[in-house]
Chain A
């Protein structure tokens, strides 16, 4: 009994048992899984009994094992048939009667095998146990061949019928079965018959490995038997471990026997192999290398994780346009990970927000209803939804129906902004742990990028609308401005025409009255002269009023045509005083100007300054009955202040401010006879302010008033 053979037995039995149990507990309700387990368990049993028959020298044990061995094969054939019948779905159906017949036949035969020696038995010949075949042995052979043969035929028929994954899965199963049967037949029957040696039985358990290997491959590559991703990896891992163990053991054995030429204790080899396996499993680094190796063999990634992540990070960090972002990310995933289909769905407050229309066959084109379902089903899950990982249920059904393998919720601060949906890999491989790790990093990055892109999009759209609005508003404003200008022009024309038309008759009235008064039309008597003078004064005041109103309208419309020059205020004040002196003399008032030496020049319009001075000094004279009017200056940093102080009746404080308003005159302070339009101070204020100065008044009733204005000085 060679060490290799022992190891093969050992691992085959364990692998069969393990695989059977994993598949069974993965989904005990699934009939396919049940029958698969029903294949692996008898297989393990068959191997175990075979081992006992060949290695254990206990007559009683062997005699039981020999019969059990056959019984397991009977069961194996039965299970194989029903597995093939059910996998991946029934293409024909057996009547309940037939099912019953098959079951009774199988279990009858098992009972016959176990209870009698009609099928197989054994005899002790010169200390060695020999298998003997009973009279009904052909029944066993027929049963086994019929069941196995029909299984093969059923699978072959189904292979033609199915396409895609199921076909690939059937291929795996067929290869496994054929391999096992062929190898088994060769080892069990052909070689012993041809060479008349029994030693080939050492390699018999290898036949079991064929089935095991191919089904495992199918599980990993084509999701055979709906086995969980981790389970599939475990199987792959385990198988590789087995392979390495086998290679090491044979290597050690060969080295010892062939090179050193000495035989060493078997137990020593077992221990060294076990130690190596332990080391492989226990050390993380080695473990990782080992895991990578399993991935290389079973799950071909074909991409460099770090490189892909770098690329994806670059895309998510640098792409602002939503369409480009989604397109680039999907493209990268499609080409690097070899994913057949995928899409990004945008969510807003958990509602489908927008589906980016991308012309690409690889992009899912789900309807709103389907998307709503995906969104709803995936909203409960926090983690990445992996079809192979989640338990049976509505979510899994939905994913299967829509061919979704992965659903990644894109979250920003706990809020979902979108979904990354991925279909199967085009190679048919399942998503590896590495893939999932990539998604775990990509998810949050993409989420932030998507949110940014949405925000950018919104701002961009808002900008466009804003621009349009502004353009519209601007053109409206422009039109309004043109209309306003037209209106302004019209108003100016109206104003000047109106002024002209009012002034002309008034000029005639005033002129003729003056001429009559002056005696140009002949001598007039005193009374007539007095009356006509009254009429003249009123007309004159009317003319002043028109002038003032013209000024007011110019000030209010800011149409003052100022000619700012450097002015010497003392010159202007002297001129105005000269003009008004006669008026002051008439009232026996002293008009005093206290000029300052080196009075700074001011920046002002000559005509306007004269108008202001005329108004203020004129007012002072007008409202003072006796005493004096004194004009003086103060100079500060900003400008020159001119003060006009009188000894008149004064103004109550509360009236001072309102004095600068239109048509305001102080109650009682104004004698009707004094004339004036009530616009003078208002105009002065407007003129002073238009030149950058200020005007104000101070007064106490009975103590006279002081009106002051400032003008900016030349610097």
Chain B
């Protein structure tokens, strides 16, 4: 059973994706923002992280930087999952090691699951 960590500050979306992914049989943990996400990683080592960018306290980029510093964590597949679609953001995220950059609004939860399966 694949483990997924969702780092996302919007509770409505977190709830929605968690329901969908639970239904699809994934083991899902959620974090409200970057720091909480890093805390979660200590007990829960996911196969894939769905990472939002714009978050309070620690944003997605900072989270990604921290992630890549840790030997244990840096191999985890990270998919940026954001509604910010600026070219510069995409470029930066990929430079920091993100596997893909998805725009939330363009994808239905079904399509998100498909994408996740692609990367597992």
* Interface check B118, CB cutoff 8 A: no
Instruction: Give the residues from 305 to 339 in chain A that come closer than 8 angstroms, CB to CB, to chain B.
Output: none
* Interface check B96, CB cutoff 8 A: no
Scoring B23, B91, B105 by chain A CB atoms within 10 A of each residue's CB, the highest score goes to B105
Instruction: Give the residues from 487 to 538 in chain A that come closer than 8 angstroms, CB to CB, to chain B.
Output: 496, 499-500, 503-508, 510-512, 514-515, 518, 520
Partner of A506, one of B19, B88, B105: B105
A518 vs B113: C-alpha distance when bound (angstroms): 13
Chain A 23-43 near chain B by CB (<8 Å), digits 1 or 0: 000000000000000000000
Please state if A515 and B85 are interface contacts (CB–CB under 8 Å). no
Partner of A504, one of B10, B19, B87: B10
A503 vs B106: C-alpha distance when bound (angstroms): 9
Where chain A touches its partner, the secondary structure class is: helix
Instruction: Give the residues from 46 to 99 in chain B that come closer than 8 angstroms, CB to CB, to chain A.
Output: 54, 82-88, 91
* B85 vs chain A, min Cβ distance (A): 7
Please state if A507 and B20 are interface contacts (CB–CB under 8 Å). no
Q: With A510-B108, A511-B109, A543-B105 as known contacts, state yes or no: A504 contacts B83, CB within 8 Å.
A: yes
Q: Which residues of A contact B54 (CB under 8 A)?
A: 500
Chain A 466-485 near chain B by CB (<8 Å), digits 1 or 0: 00000000000000000000
Please state if B84 and A500 are interface contacts (CB–CB under 8 Å). yes
Q: Which residues of B contact A499 (CB under 8 A)?
A: 83-85
Please state if A561 and B106 are interface contacts (CB–CB under 8 Å). no
Please state if B109 and A500 are interface contacts (CB–CB under 8 Å). no
Scoring B20, B54, B83, B104 by chain A CB atoms within 10 A of each residue's CB, the highest score goes to B83
Where chain B touches its partner, the secondary structure class is: helix
Q: How many residues of B contact A (CB 8 A)?
A: 24
Q: With A504-B10, A511-B13 as known contacts, state yes or no: A546 contacts B20, CB within 8 Å.
A: no
Please state if A507 and B13 are interface contacts (CB–CB under 8 Å). yes
Partner of A514, one of B10, B83, B87, B109: B109
Q: With A507-B104, A510-B108, A514-B110 as known contacts, state yes or no: A561 contacts B13, CB within 8 Å.
A: no
**Residue of B at shortest CB range from A539?**
B105
Q: How many residues of A contact B (CB 8 A)?
A: 21
Instruction: Give the residues from 629 to 664 in chain A that come closer than 8 angstroms, CB to CB, to chain B.
Output: none
Chain A 193-204 near chain B by CB (<8 Å), digits 1 or 0: 000000000000
Chain A 551-579 near chain B by CB (<8 Å), digits 1 or 0: 00000000001000000000000000000
Instruction: Give the residues from 592 to 607 in chain A that come closer than 8 angstroms, CB to CB, to chain B.
Output: none
Please state if A504 and B86 are interface contacts (CB–CB under 8 Å). no
Give the A-binding residues of B (Cβ under 8 A): 10, 12-13, 16-17, 19-20, 23, 54, 82-88, 91, 103-106, 108-110
New A-B contacts (7) at CB < 8 Å, excluding given A511-B109, A520-B20: A499-B83, A503-B104, A505-B12, A515-B16, A515-B19, A520-B19, A547-B85
12 contacting pairs across A/B (C-beta < 8 A): A500-B54, A503-B105, A504-B13, A508-B10, A508-B12, A511-B17, A511-B20, A511-B108, A515-B20, A518-B110, A546-B105, A547-B106
Give the B-binding residues of A (Cβ under 8 A): 496, 499-500, 503-508, 510-512, 514-515, 518, 520, 543, 546-547, 550, 561
